[in-house]
């Protein structure tokens, strides 16, 4: 008895490979469209790829990954200096506010445990009190993608948040300045 190592596709056995690929891409597109946030805004995939490529280059050279260059590359908001200074530096250049938007930079205030502040980029809006962010160096020298952030401020104004440290686990309270939008102030 001879056993064949050949695998057969039992789902679409009679369709040519090209037809199966077209159907699969269509299904992926349909599912992706259903999963998008309600306002259809999304992070620029080219920016995301470039930001992650820069992180890979830094790792390859043995350099540390910081939140500021990562947020600058991902958002396109060209502010330099420590994260704690971004809010003030953005004042006359970029619009700022307390409503999250996809692509906006969330500016964390400096604290005793985070003396240089922190910046992260909003990648999705889940509810009016929960967003998803991408950021670097929350976990030392790593990029964290699709981490939840919950607004726990008394006035629902995003001045105090909890950040997802591990899937489904939210950590300490962190004060936030607000959001810097990748639009120029008028």
User: What pLDDT, in 10s, does the model give residues 52-94?
Assistant: 999 999 999 999 999 999 999 999 999 999 999 999 999 989 9
Q: 162 by DSSP, 3-state: which?
A: strand
Q: Residue 180 has which token pair?
A: 């810097």
Q: What is the pTM of this model?
A: 0.77
Query: Distance between CA atoms of 13 and 174, rounded to whole angstroms?
Result: 54
Of 142, 108, 97, 106, which Cα lies nearest the Cα of 124? 106
Question: pLDDT (tens digit, 9 = 90+) per residue, 30-58?
Answer: 333 333 333 446 888 999 999 999 999 99
Which residue's structure tokens are 């006035």?
Answer: 155
């Amino acid at each position: 008895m001879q056993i064949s190592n050949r695998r057969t596709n039992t789902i679409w056995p009679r369709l040519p490979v090209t037809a199966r690929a077209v159907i699969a891409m269509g299904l992926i597109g349909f599912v992706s469209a259903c999963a998008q946030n309600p306002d259809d805004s999304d992070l620029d995939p080219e920016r995301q790829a470039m930001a992650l490529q820069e992180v890979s280059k830094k790792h390859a050279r043995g350099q540390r990954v910081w939140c500021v260059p990562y947020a600058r590359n991902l958002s396109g908001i060209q502010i330099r200096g420590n994260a704690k200074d971004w809010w003030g530096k953005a004042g006359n250049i970029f619009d700022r506010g307390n409503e999250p938007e996809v692509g906006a930079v969330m500016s964390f205030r400096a604290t005793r445990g985070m003396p240089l502040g922190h910046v992260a980029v909003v990648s999705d809006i889940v509810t009016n009190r929960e967003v998803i962010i991408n950021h670097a160096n929350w976990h030392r020298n790593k990029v964290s993608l699709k981490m939840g952030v919950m607004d726990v401020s008394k006035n629902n104004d995003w001045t105090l948040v909890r950040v997802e440290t591990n899937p489904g686990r939210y950590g300490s309270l962190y004060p936030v300045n607000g959001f810097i939008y990748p639009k120029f102030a008028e």
